[in-house]
Amino acid sequence: MLIKTFQNCKEFIAGDNTTLREFLHPDKEDLKLRYSLAHAVLKPGETSLWHKLKTSSEVYYILEGEGIMYIDNESQQVYPGQTIYMPPNARQRIKNTGKTDLKFLCIVDPAWKKKDEEIL
């Protein structure tokens, strides 16, 4: 059994400029998973950098706050309870348009790898 707490997962700034805490990653622990799971935060007014994952798909699940999700040439308002899918090689970024932190889960399948991410 593996149970982690939010506080015990180290916070860091990701390549796309979001604040992340990585919950699960099969390359870092003995897990029988294909995907990685992280918690992301953007402060009010912040925008992640344009980026893409070359071979992995990504899903965001919005927990708190509001923003605008940009995928390729599309954009849409996002808010808690929404799930957003980004296929491999999709150009993406997210902007916090609210007055509170924008918090969301990031699921990457296959699991996130630095060599797969391209900052644009």
Kindly report, residue by residue over 89-100, the tens digit of the pLDDT.
999 999 999 999
As given in the structure block, the two tokens for residue 90 are: 């999709």
Structure confidence at residue 77 (pLDDT): 99
Rounded mean pLDDT of the chain? 96
| Cβ count within 10 A of residue 119 | 12
Structure confidence at residue 44 (pLDDT): 98
Task: Decide if pLDDT at 17 tops 90.
Answer: yes
Residue 6, classed as helix, strand or coil, is helix
Domain segments of the chain as ranges = 11-75+90-107
Q: What is the pTM of this model?
A: 0.94
CA 56 to chain CA centroid, nearest Å = 12
Going by pLDDT thresholds of 50, 70 and 90, the confidence category of residue 76 is very high
What type of residue is 110?
P
Kindly report, residue by residue over 21-61, the tens digit of the pLDDT.
999 999 988 899 999 999 999 999 999 999 999 999 999 99
Closest by alpha carbon to 68, among 84, 56, 89?
84
Instruction: Please give the CATH number for the structural domain made up of 11-75+90-107.
Output: 2.60.120.10
What are φ and ψ of residue 7, in 5° steps? -65, -25
Name residue 62's beta-bridge partners: 104
Task: Decide if pLDDT at 2 tops 90.
Answer: no
Residue 48 · residue 114 · CB < 8 Å: no
